[in-house]
């Protein structure tokens, strides 16, 4: 896990290390302040698809034959399911609006993703996708928070208990605009380039992980320890 160092964030390693004895290969990470989570209520993880769950392509993932899981991603989703987290996929799919991807093919891709994650022991609660092009001006295409807000309304989600995980600048900005507790950038897909862009803007992600599996291990360990990273959500600060 990579530490994000900014004037607003500080590495709270010693305190967290004492409370997370079971965390494997845990390194320092960015935390704004500790937040004690209530024992009841479910946590939600919002996942981008391409570059996070599956291998991305600059030519778009046009059919189920082109869909391939990133190593460890389905297992990471199973960890979230085992820990009682709800998984919701939020993905831009402008290939639909561009006429590159057929709706039935997108459905087949989602079916393959759900089947693969189910075989790994994971359960996806819902999938939201934006079919629009960047010039459409819709409310759902990330970085706009429309898909997350639709999920909140449909499933009565507490954003103070939610995390956004993605590989792009749009994902991080979407999580923050929606009010997720914090947003995690994974270095698969476009993650390396996106990290450079975000740092250059002075708006680094709240956490950086090598891949979805590492992100899942640390996020779940934090939640089990009674800690949550307070970012831009509506969690209650106990300090």
pLDDT in tens, the chain (239 residues): 443 332 233 233 233 333 333 333 333 343 333 444 343 368 999 999 999 999 999 999 999 999 999 999 999 999 999 999 999 999 999 999 999 999 999 999 999 999 999 999 999 999 999 999 999 999 999 999 999 999 999 999 999 999 999 999 999 999 999 999 999 999 999 999 999 999 999 999 999 999 999 999 999 998 888 876 544 433 323 22
Residue written as token pair 């359960």: 123
Q: Is residue 238 part of a domain?
A: no
Asked if residue 19 is part of any domain, the answer here is yes
Q: Classify residue 234: in a domain, yes or no.
A: no
Identify whether 86 is a catalytic site residue. Answer: no
- Name the catalytic one among 40, 50, 158, 237: 50
pLDDT number for residue 159: 95
Q: Which of 174, 228, 161 is nearest to 205 (CA)?
A: 174
Q: How many domains does the chain have?
A: 1
Strands (E), 71-213: 86-92, 124-130, 162-166, 182-186, 207-209
Separation CA 24–CA 20 (nearest Å): 9
Would you say 161 and 37 are in contact if contact means Cβ atoms under 8 Å apart?
A: yes
Q: What is the pLDDT of residue 41?
A: 64
Q: Which two tokens stand for residue 187?
A: 């270095």
| Claim: this prediction has a pTM higher than 0.75 | yes
Of 22, 40, 48, 158, the active-site residue reads 48
Do 183 and 159 form a contact (C-beta atoms < 8 A)? no
Q: What is the CATH number of the domain that holds 36?
A: 3.40.50.1000
| pLDDT computed for residue 40 by the predictor | 38
> What backbone torsions phi and psi does residue 69 show, to the nearest 5 degrees?
-65, 140
Distance of alpha carbon 220 from alpha carbon 197, whole angstroms: 27
Is 95 contained in some domain?
yes
Is residue 130 in a domain? Answer: yes
138: containing domain? 10-224
CA distances from 173 to 61, 94, 107, 119, 133 (A): 23, 18, 27, 32, 18
Question: Considering only CA atoms, which of 205, 207, 216 is closest in space to residue 172?
Answer: 205
Q: Please give the sequence-ordered ranges of beta strands (E in DSSP) within 66-176, or none if there are none.
A: 86-92, 124-130, 162-166
Specify whether 167 is catalytic.
Answer: no
Residue 82 within any structural domain of the chain: yes
Distances (CA, A) of 154 to 126, 142, 151, 172, 177: 10, 18, 5, 22, 18
Whole-angstrom Cα distance, residue 159 to residue 203? 20
Residue partners of 211: CB distance under 8 A and separation at least 6: 70, 71, 72, 73, 76, 186, 187, 188
The per-residue pLDDT for 195 is: 98
The whole-angstrom separation of Cα 154 and Cα 189 is: 29
Q: Is 184 left (phi over 0), alpha (psi -120 to 50) or beta?
A: beta
Any domain includes 231: no
Residue 233 lies in a domain: no
């Amino acid at each position: 896990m990579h530490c994000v160092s900014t004037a607003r964030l500080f590495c709270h390693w010693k305190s967290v290390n004492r409370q997370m004895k079971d965390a494997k290969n845990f390194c320092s990470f960015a935390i704004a302040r500790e937040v004690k989570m209530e024992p009841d209520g479910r946590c939600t993880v919002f996942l981008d698809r391409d570059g996070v769950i599956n291998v991305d392509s600059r030519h778009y993932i046009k059919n189920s034959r082109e869909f391939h899981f990133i190593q460890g991603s389905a297992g990471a989703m199973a960890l979230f399911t085992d820990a009682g987290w709800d998984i919701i996929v939020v993905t831009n799919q402008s290939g639909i609006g561009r006429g590159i991807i057929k709706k039935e093919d997108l459905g087949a891709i989602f079916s393959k993703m759900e089947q693969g994650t189910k075989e790994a022991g994971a359960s996806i609660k819902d999938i939201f996708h934006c079919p629009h092009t960047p010039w459409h001006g819709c409310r759902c295409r990330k970085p706009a928070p429309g898909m997350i807000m639709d999920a909140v309304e449909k499933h009565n989600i507490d954003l103070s208990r939610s995390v956004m995980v993605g590989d792009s600048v749009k994902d991080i900005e979407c999580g923050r605009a929606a009010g997720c507790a914090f947003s995690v950038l994974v270095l698969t897909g476009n993650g390396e380039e996106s990290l450079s862009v975000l740092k250059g803007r002075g708006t680094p992600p709240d956490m950086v992980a090598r891949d979805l599996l590492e992100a899942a291990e640390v996020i779940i360990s934090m939640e089990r320890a009674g800690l949550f990273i307070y970012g831009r959500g509506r969690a209650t600060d106990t300090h």
